[in-house]
Amino acid sequence: MKYVIGIDLGTSAVKILLVNQNGEVSGEVSKSYPVMQEKTGYSEQNPENWVEQTVAGLIELLKNTNCRPEDIDGISFSGQMHGLVLLDEHHQVLRNAILWNDTRTSEQCQEIYEAVGKQRLLDITKNPALEGFTLPKLLWVKQHEPQLFHKAAKFVLPKDYVRYRLTGKLHMDYSDAAGTLLLDVSKKAWSKEICDLLAINIELCPPLVESHEEVGSILPHVATVTGLSPSTSVFAGGADNACGAIGSGILEEGKTLCSIGTSGVILSYEATGTKEFEGKVHYFNHGAADAYYTMGVTLAAGDSLSWFKQVFAQGESFETLLADIGDVPIGANGLLFTPYIVGERTPHADANIRASFIGMDRSHDRKHFVRAVLEGITFSLNESLDIFRQNGKKIETVVSIGGGAKNDDWLQMQADIFNAKIMRLNSEQGPAMGAAMLAAYGCGWFESLRSCAAQFLKEDYTWIPIQENVNRYQELFKVYKAIYTNTIQINKRLRVFRK
Ligand SMILES: Nc1ncnc2c1ncn2[C@@H]1O[C@H](COP(=O)(O)OP(=O)(O)O)[C@@H](O)[C@H]1O
Ligand SMILES: O=C(CO)[C@@H](O)[C@H](O)COP(=O)(O)O
């Protein structure tokens, strides 16, 4: 039997899957690493932690399997998007990576609009200037750390750096490059125009490749340490949401994905890069060649639940924390939560907004708060789903993946709030499975990603919306939506108190 490995470099942890030719998961490892928040709005990670934990994960995976290293035909990657990894001329890391959920760059977003123009930026990149994207981070380092910026020879994204450490080769694939705001999304080339207008040397941008392209093999010393074979081919891989889409079979028009990881995403396949969404949703290159996807992003989806657990239930597992949410009625006895703990992206591109619990009552206990957190996260994702529906998309079934897809009550809640069937596949590890599929396709096991999906992906269970719950949630959703507008000014005034 032959195998492939999919590595998903998430924000909370690296998840590694060993998958056989039938698409069965033969081994699975997860290794976590910390996120550093030095100030409000900041979010950084040390790239060395990604490498250490990926290597540790590979060692563990190979130790616990009977598969021979030479039977692993290929490895590919999925990774958290947008994070800036700056390298010097010797490819040494110059500073901590600035992550996708770091929002320190509002001023740089304005600078981009002033230099490029809103419409021109949309024409080239298909996206607005958002704090989380990579270009504003580059400009921030240029302005605040000029001596360090001066030493920069290349920038890459998180999984590109880990791939570089395993292979010695630097690349970036189109699906991840689209999230930098430096890519001409439909021409699939770095935009010289944007680089020139913002005085960014285009030489900083790494060579571009397709996600399924072979980019190298495992370096001998990495092979010795991990137990991998130096003959195993390495394929570029893609952005975690593009890989999540591949690993969930979102490979044709009409298919929709909900991913609840640290962030939350509602994603829809697009056959062309020429539709107009006016920047209301993100519009990026897919990991499937010459395809695209649109998505709305909740900045802190799973992260809101993790934050709640860390503050109010330290040491408990997600399973015990969520054990009794099924006993709490819809609406948590009048308690609502907005998940804006690090600001928001869709539909409110607002780095300044912060979260609220509204309606706290003497009768509430912890389980009401937990249910309110889950409902708030799901309402936020429903705002993205609404944008798609308002643009004429018919959404009847949604494939749900990520850590949030581990809880059955939450999946029923998704069905009731989205008013759509929620399908869970045989593995909720969509991005890692997508990376494994890119390796399988890259190795030539299949003639297309679609035929790989037909072999690899199986439906596990589907949750059907319960009409009575749908009606209750539709009423509550109207109240939820009113919280944003009613808390903008309050949060502006609170800003000076945040450290
Ligand atoms: N058993 C569980 N039930 C519900 N949610 C969970 C569970 N375990 C983890 N999560 C959620 O999943 C999130 C992590 O999901 P994951 O897809 O691994 O994220 P990432 O790719 O960002 O590292 C956590 O923030 C947490 O909120
Ligand atoms: O910023 C985005 C998408 O634009 C995030 O979706 C990141 O890609 C992080 O993903 P997770 O760690 O939550 O999977």
- Express each pLDDT in 244-296 by its tens digit: 999 999 999 999 999 999 999 999 999 998 888 889 999 999 999 999 999 99
* Secondary structure percentages of the chain, helix, strand, coil, to 5: 40, 20, 35
pLDDT at 194: 98
The answer to whether residues 251 and 442 touch, using CB atoms and an 8 Å cutoff, is no
Q: What is the pLDDT of residues 392-426, one digit of tens each?
A: 999 999 999 999 999 999 999 999 999 999 999 98
For residues 5-21, give the mean pLDDT: 98
- In three-state secondary structure terms, 418 is helix
Atom of ligand 2 nearest to the CA of 263: 13
- In three-state secondary structure terms, 466 is coil
- Structure tokens belonging to residue 1: 């039997």
pLDDT at 429: 84
Distances (CA, A) of 238 to 1, 151, 173: 26, 27, 6
Q: Work out the pLDDT band at 163, boundaries 50, 70, 90.
A: very high
For residues 314-325, give the mean pLDDT: 97
> d(Cα 234, Cα 171) in Å, to the nearest integer?
12
- Structure tokens belonging to residue 364: 């509430």
Q: Work out the pLDDT band at 443, boundaries 50, 70, 90.
A: very high
The answer to whether residues 94 and 148 touch, using CB atoms and an 8 Å cutoff, is yes
pLDDT at 276: 86
Q: Tokens 């936020």 belong to which residue?
A: 380
Q: What is the pLDDT of residues 105-121, one digit of tens each?
A: 999 999 999 999 999 99
pLDDT at 159: 98
- Tell me which residue has its CA closest to atom 9 in ligand 2: 80
Q: Is 322 in the pocket of ligand 1 (CB under 6 A)?
A: yes
For residues 110-137, give the mean pLDDT: 97
Q: What is the pLDDT of residues 452-489, one digit of tens each?
A: 999 999 999 999 999 999 999 999 999 999 999 999 99
Q: Is 264 in the pocket of ligand 1 (CB under 6 A)?
A: no
Q: Which of the listed residues 265, 285, 341, 380 should we mutate to test ligand 2's pocket, taking the one with most ligand atoms within 8 A of CB? A: 265
Atom of ligand 1 nearest to the CA of 12: 23
> What mean pLDDT value characterizes the chain?
97
Q: Is 341 in the pocket of ligand 1 (CB under 6 A)?
A: no
DSSP per-residue letters across 16-73: EEEEETTS-EEEEEEEE---B-SSTT--EE-HHHHHHHHHHHHHHHHHT----GGGEE
Q: Is the pLDDT of residue 55 over 90?
A: yes
Q: Work out the pLDDT band at 70, boundaries 50, 70, 90.
A: very high
- Tell me which residue has its CA closest to atom 14 in ligand 2: 261
- Domains in the chain with CATH codes: 3-241 (3.30.420.40)
Other CB atoms within a 10 A radius of the CB of residue 498 amount to: 11
Ligand 2 centre to CA of 11 (Å) is: 8
Q: Is the pLDDT of residue 91 over 90?
A: yes
The answer to whether residues 81 and 97 touch, using CB atoms and an 8 Å cutoff, is no
Counting every residue written for the chain, the total comes to 499
Q: Is 404 in the pocket of ligand 2 (CB under 6 A)?
A: no
Q: Is 81 annotated as a binding residue?
A: yes
> d(Cα 401, Cα 50) in Å, to the nearest integer?
22
Ligand 2 centre to CA of 118 (Å) is: 24
Q: What is the pLDDT of residues 340-393, one digit of tens each?
A: 999 999 999 999 999 999 999 999 999 999 999 999 999 999 999 999 999 999
Please state the pTM of the whole predicted model: 0.97
- Tell me which residue has its CA closest to atom 2 in ligand 2: 81
Q: Which of 370, 227, 388, 357 lies closest to 309, judged by CA?
A: 370
> d(Cα 497, Cα 499) in Å, to the nearest integer?
7
> d(Cα 69, Cα 467) in Å, to the nearest integer?
51
Q: What is the pLDDT of residues 27-49, one digit of tens each?
A: 999 999 999 999 999 999 999 99
> d(Cα 316, Cα 310) in Å, to the nearest integer?
9
- Give the number of whichever ligand sits closest to the CA of residue 33: 1
Q: Say what percent of the chain tops pLDDT 90.
A: 98
For residues 73-101, give the mean pLDDT: 98
Other CB atoms within a 10 A radius of the CB of residue 120 amount to: 15
Q: In one letter, which amino acid is 340?
A: Y
Q: Work out the pLDDT band at 218, boundaries 50, 70, 90.
A: very high
Q: Is 76 in the pocket of ligand 2 (CB under 6 A)?
A: no
Ligand 1 centre to CA of 237 (Å) is: 22
Q: Tokens 């308002």 belong to which residue?
A: 390
